[in-house]
Amino acid sequence: MAFELRPVPKPKHKRRSKTAKQRGQVTKPVYAMAWERSGGRCERCGKAEGQAWTLEAAHVERRWRYGQEGVTAADIVILCGPSTDSHTCHHWADYTRVGREWLLKQREVNKR
């Protein structure tokens, strides 16, 4: 017999540390502070939310880089999206070297 099924019961214990997705999660109060800072507009081009685009919270650093302290309002920037559309600021910030540098500078400005 080449294959024999030996099921193992699922563990009943919880995780000890948060996952990268949980560490990088933007809470409602943090999102509200970033939204207030941006004035409901894209922080790069100034567009307000419309039919052709939406406003999204863009992480300055990748989610897996955040420690246990979590995401602060300085760690996110409100940009027009979606990030999969190559004509939006979120795509520019996530996928270009100049955009990543701009995000890092923006975090320093937002910390003040």
pLDDT at position 51 is: 63
* Consecutive H or E run containing 111: helix 97-111
83's CB contacts (< 8 A; 6+ apart) are: 56, 58, 90, 91, 94, 95
Q: pLDDT tens across 37-84, in order?
A: 999 899 998 888 776 678 888 888 876 666 666 778 888 999 998 888
4 SS3 class: coil
Best CA proximity match to 59, nearest among 107, 111, 110, 109: 107
